[in-house]
Structure 1
């Protein structure tokens, strides 16, 4: 599916992360990848190899076994990465629930 802009994709992305446990798994995945990035800068660049393995592995687990859908990163990898960090930031600041309610009042496009 083609999206006209990031806001359209964001609404779709949030709909694909409807369960709180899926969002929590994504939070852990993003946090883990950030830790590996920091370790690669501070200790050894080989930690960069672990970033996508753990980052995507944990997130994809949540889609296949918790949410029961296909990860949005399969069709839109760049926008999915941006939205993942946006969701991480909103969860970190406690604003994700408010964003879900805001988007719940709008029609959500179906992807794939």
Structure 2
């Protein structure tokens, strides 16, 4: 009986470990489809776009006014809006917690694609 309990306990521990394993992406091209899947909710994406836009506005303000303390706001605004989108709308943990560098790059690529779609829509309507 003890052997059965020991093996069962070990199997449960392995299952928990497997759930915690993080997929290792070798390239950003491999990572990006995963990143987009983690941002399937349009409201979550909108929160990312708002945060990224505000980050650019703060950076412009800091450069123009040379109020360097404003740089402190950049990660607070950028991550704050993104994480709020994940917790409120997407109901998942931000990819930043597992893949910080790829996630930062993914956010700006996704933002760039959003802006390209906006420009494309404006061209089609005129």
TM-score (norm 2): 0.73
1:49-88 superposed matches below 5 A: 49-88=72-111
CA-CA distance at 1:6 after TM superposition: 0.7
Considering Cα pairs closer than 8 Å and 6+ residues apart, tell me whether 1 or 2 has the greater RCO.
1
The equivalent residue for 1:36 is: 58
The equivalent residue for 2:33 is: 11
TM-score (norm 1): 0.81
Higher helix residue share: 2
Structure 1 residue matching 2:24: 3-state secondary structure: coil
The equivalent residue for 1:23 is: 45
The equivalent residue for 2:116 is: 93
Q: Structure 2: any 5+ residue segments left out of the alignment?
A: 1-22, 119-126
| Alpha-carbon distance in structure 1 between the residues aligned to 2:76 and 2:93 | 17
CA-CA distance at 1:76 after TM superposition: 0.9
- Once superposed, which parts of structure 1, at least 4 consecutive aligned residues long, lie more than 6 Å away? none
Q: Count how many residue pairs are aligned between Structure 1 and Structure 2.
A: 95
Structure number, greater radius of gyration: 2
Q: Alpha carbon RMSD of aligned pairs, Å?
A: 1.1
